[in-house]
A and B are shown apart, each in its own frame.
Chain A
Amino acid sequence: RKEVEQDPGPFNVPEGATVAFNCTYSNSASQSFFWYRQDCRKEPKLLMSVYSSGNEDGRFTAQLNRASQYISLLIRDSKLSDSATYLCVVSLNDYKLSFGAGTTVTVRA
């Protein structure tokens, strides 16, 4: 089993729609969780950290489910500019991070 797994998509949604996707991780001892965004041919950039209580940043909501070992990202009121690949990042121990392969989201007009 891969350390971090994501549905590759693509999720093709119209503007204004809500889209949500998950990321599963294999190590139950993982402590830190993040969502990074990567635009086509660009470097990844941190979108948000994921906290145990869940957190929201504008139209983006991240949740952590430790029992089922997954994190989720929900995007409300999708904009064209939200089109990107969303990378799930999980800490496997105190010093190592592991990236998922990414979920591609395409928002169409």
Chain B
Amino acid sequence: EAGVAQSPRYKIIEKRQSVAFWCNPISGHATLYWYQQILGQGPKLLIQFQNNGVVDDSQLPKDRFSAERLKGVDSTLKIQPAKLEDSAVYLCASSLAPPGSGNEKLFFGSGTQLSVL
């Protein structure tokens, strides 16, 4: 079974530049998550999709971050403009169904390590 695919693996940009990350979840997984993980901390949820609808984006800094999941499959996360504090690993995860369903096991991609200089 193919896993969650993410790209790029690494990205280095200067502050105020823009960056985009791409995620292809496991086929058939309705729930897709974007997490931000700063070194030494646990993953922090940025946005959660159920199919192509947003379930939770309460912790997404909407003045600079945006995400979409057109057609309920692939997803992109964009940062514009980037700040120094955005340096982190951005993890995409998918699950067959949402939490509480019994099928909420998360499968993570390898992540994108972003460095903002």
Binding site for B on A (CB under 8 A): 4, 6, 31-32, 36, 42-46, 49, 87, 89, 91, 93-102
Contact = CB atoms under 8 A, between A and B. Distances in A.
Given A44-B108, A46-B105, A99 B44 contact: yes
A96 B45 contact: yes
B106 A46 contact: yes
B42 A97 contact: no
A95 B91 contact: no
Contact of A95 (B44, B98, B108): B98
A76 to B, nearest CB: 24
Contacts of B55: 95-96
Interface in B32-68: 35, 40-45, 48, 50, 55-56
Nearest to A92: B99
B41 A95 contact: no
Interface residues of B, number: 22
12 contacts: A32-B104, A36-B106, A43-B111, A44-B43, A49-B105, A89-B106, A95-B48, A95-B50, A95-B99, A96-B45, A97-B106, A102-B42
Most buried by A among B42, B100, B110: B42
Given A89-B106, A101-B41, 14 more contacts: A31-B100, A42-B110, A44-B91, A91-B99, A91-B100, A94-B98, A95-B48, A95-B55, A95-B56, A96-B99, A97-B99, A99-B35, A100-B42, A101-B42
Interface of B: 35, 40-45, 48, 50, 55-56, 91, 98-100, 104-106, 108-111
Contacts of A94: 98-100
B19 to A, nearest CB: 19
Contacts of B50: 95
B109 A32 contact: no
